[in-house]
Structure 1
Amino acid sequence: MADLSRTPARRIAAPTSAQAVLTVQTRGQGFTDITRELRAFLREIGAGTGLAHLFCRHTSASLTIQENADPDVRTDLLTALDSLAPRSGRWVHDVEGPDDMPAHIRTMLTDTGLAIPVAQGAPLLGTWQGVYLIEHRDRPHAREVVLSFLGDCAEA
């Protein structure tokens, strides 16, 4: 049987919400760490306890929470995505080039949205976790990520 424990629940007294759009300049296929930007957003709005939601406004880029200590993990993840949705596939949709349809498949396999609990104004990420935008196209793009927070303000 699993050993389960949790911290006591806390009632949220004065709910608040905030939203911003983060523009991420990518360099082409790869991972861009946006953890620092998420933390800055939460500080700027005076977040306390609640939920941060991130939404990528694109169909050929996505979001993930992944290890932030060893960059080899991200390299291996790109290799795995390449094997799952290769550019050399016989894709019908290729209007924007051979990386277009594989990018859509990779987005479907990962996700465009993340929900992250927040406490004391900080995302409750694990020790080795970072938040990343994954660019699935070969060339650079300006990607938009909507950052939202619902919860209470930090106590003074």
Structure 2
Amino acid sequence: MNWYKDTLTIRTHGKGLYPFTPLVTERLRRWGAREGLCCLYVQHTSASLVISENYDPTAKMDLETFMERLVPENQTWFRHTLEGADDSPSHIRAMLTQPSLTIPIDDGALSLGTWQGIYLFEHRNHPQARSVLLRVLDV
């Protein structure tokens, strides 16, 4: 049994979904992981991780639009606005999604469905460098 660790840096240029499945796949190949679990964890309160469709770009656009409509900026009841109009909404959006993912590894590959991909969901307006912890247990 082997335990592998790395930290991925995902650079964003504002709100949106940023695919990074190839980064994870590359690490699995480099480590030679065959069977086990892949755990991902984003170390931020204004970004999250999601698994979503990675084939049709309109699916990504719809998810981004949905989140904008679900938690719009500039609401009069927001108090936490120290870092700007996206401050409270980014934390609420992160709370509604998830900070971590666990994906099985079978026969050396992530056990994602045909159209699934791993995304960092950036909830801030400005560019960020997001840290995603990658942990792999290879049994």
Query: What's the TM-score once normalised by structure 1's chain length?
Result: 0.86
Q: Per-residue CA shift, 1:42-74, capped at 9, x if unaligned?
A: 111110100000000100011000000111111
* Residue from 100, 118, 142 that aligns with 2:87: 100
RMSD: 0.8
Provide the residue aligned with 1:34 in structure 2. 20
2:123 aligned with 1:136, yes or no? yes
Task: For residue 151 of structure 1, report the CA deviation from its aligned partner.
Answer: 2.2
Query: What's the TM-score once normalised by structure 2's chain length?
Result: 0.97
C-alpha separation in 1, matches of 2:121 and 2:49: 6
* Runs of 5+ unmatched residues, structure 2: none
Q: Per-residue CA shift, 1:85-136, capped at 9, x if unaligned?
A: 1102121100000001100011011101000000111100000000000110
Stretches (4+) displaced over 3 A:
none
Once the two structures are superposed, the pairs formed by residues 4-153 of structure 1 within 5 Å of their partners are 15-90=1-76, 91-152=78-139
Structure with the greater alpha carbon radius of gyration: 1
What is the one-letter code of the residue matched to 2:42?
Answer: C
* Runs of 5+ unmatched residues, structure 1: 1-14
Aligned sequence identity (%): 46
What is the SS of the residue equivalent to 1:89?
coil
